[in-house]
Structure 1
Amino acid sequence: MIYRLVGEGAMVLHMAFLVYVAVGGYLAWYRLPALWPHMACALYGLGITLIGWDCPLTDIETWGRERAGQAGLPPGGFIEHYLTGVVYPREHLLTVQLLVALSVAVSWIGALILHRRRQRHSSENRA
C-alpha cells in the first residue's frame, strides 16, 4: 500500500510541477520574487525537454509502482504516458511545448512590465 501511495504521490507532484511550469510565472504578476522559483523550474523543464535530463519524479513514480506490483512508466516518461496521445494528439507535442514556452515568456515579460509600472507609479507618488 505504501509503495502505491509513493507512485500516486509522485504522479500528483509531477502534474502539479507541469502546471506550475506552464502557468506559475503569472504569480510574479502579483509578487515579483515569485519569478525566481518559477524561472528555476522552467529552466529545469527546458533541460528535460531539450537536453534529456532525468526527472526524479519519474524515477520515484516508477520505483513506487513497480514495488506495488504495477507497471512503471514507459521509457518516454510521464508526459508520454499521461498526456501525449491522451490529452492532446501525439502529432501536436511540439505545438504544446511551444505554447507552454510562449506562456512562460508572456508571464515573465508581463511580470517585468507590471513591476516597472509599479515602480514608476510609486516614485511619482513620492514626488
Structure 2
Amino acid sequence: MSAPWLADAVVLAHLAFILFVMFGGLLVLRWPRLAWLHLPAAAWGVAVEWTGWICPLTPLENALRERAGQQAYGGDFVQHYIMPLIYPDGLTRHTQLVLGALVLLLNVTVYAALWRRRGGRRG
C-alpha cells in the first residue's frame, strides 16, 4: 500500500474512533460488555479535548502524507477535518472545552440510563 492510501486509512480510522467516542455509549446500551472498550476511549477523547493534546493519529497521518509528497497540516484532526464543517472560523480553546463537555455529558447520560436499566446496584 502506498503512503497516500495509508494516510487516508488513518483518517478513516480516526473518524471511526471519534464517532465511537461520541456515540459508542449507545452501542453499550445494546452490548453492555462493550463498555470495557468504550469507557477508556471516551475518557481519552475527553482528555484530548480538555487538555489540547494532539491525538497520535494526527502526526502519523501527516508523516504518511509527507512521505507521499503531499502537504501535511497543522493542528489536530478535529480542527482540520471536522471543525470546518461545523465552525468555519476554526477551532478555539473554548470550543474544545465545550466539545469535551458534550462528549462527557452524552456518555454520562447513556451510562446512567444503562445503570438504571440494569437495576442500579446489585447487592
Into which bin does the TM-score normalised by the smaller protein fall?
0.7 to 0.9
Residue 52 of structure 1 and its aligned partner are, at CA, apart by 3.6
Match of 1:11 in 2: 11
Unaligned runs of 5+ in 2: none
Matched, 1:43 2:43: yes
Unaligned runs of 5+ in 1: 121-127
Structure with the higher helix share, 1 or 2: 1
Please give the secondary structure, in 2, of the residue aligned with 1:12. Answer: helix
- Bigger mean CA offset, 52-61 vs 21-30: 52-61
Match of 1:24 in 2: 24
Match of 1:124 in 2: none
Q: 1:32, 1:41 → 2: CA distance?
A: 15
Structure with the greater relative contact order (CA < 8 A, sep ≥ 6): 1 or 2? 1
Contact 1:22 1:104 in 2 (8 A): yes
After superposition, what is the alpha-carbon deviation per residue over 1:81-118, rounded to whole angstroms, capped at 9, x for unaligned?
A: 0111x22124683544433222111111112122227x
Moved over 6 A (4+): none
Paired residues in the alignment total: 117
TM value normalised by structure 1? 0.79
- Bigger mean CA offset, 93-102 vs 17-26: 93-102
Match of 1:77 in 2: 76
Q: 2:20, 2:119 → 1: CA distance?
A: 24
Please give the secondary structure, in 2, of the residue aligned with 1:87. Answer: helix
Larger Rg: 1
Alignment root-mean-square deviation, CA: 2.3
TM value normalised by structure 2? 0.81
